[in-house]
Amino acid sequence: MKTVLVIVAVVVSLALAAPLMAQSASDYSKMSTDELYQLKQQPDHQYDTNLDSVWTQRVANMTPEELKKYNVQYSPQEIQKMRQQRMSPGVSGP
């Protein structure tokens, strides 16, 4: 009986952890900017560093119209810094 309970506990734990593992393994770079923007609006993606990294790269490439469309909250100086980092030698990007 104890063995069955342990197995059930393990299965339940894995089932609960699966969404978190899937989120961390997501390849956001293949998503459209609209899809990324929608994800950023969801509370469960608020602290996703992978999503933040891809979003920052996208912001560095946005036109002024896109910055307005996606309600980007970075200052012009921050955006310029992102663009400079993207253009620096040795920095890889998409």
Taking every pair of Cα atoms in the chain, the longest distance, rounded to a whole number of angstroms, is: 64
Per-residue confidence (pLDDT) for residue 37, from 0 to 100: 93
Instruction: Tell me if 93 sits within 8 A of 57, measured CB to CB.
Output: yes
Q: Which of 14-18, 30-34, 35-39, 81-85 has the lowest mean pLDDT?
A: 14-18
What Å distances lie between residue 40 and 11, 34, 55, 83, 85, CA to CA? 30, 10, 9, 21, 22
Which pTM does this prediction carry?
Answer: 0.59
| pLDDT (mean) for 7-23 | 59
Q: What is the distance between the alpha carbons of residues 29 and 21, in angstroms, rounded to a whole number?
A: 17
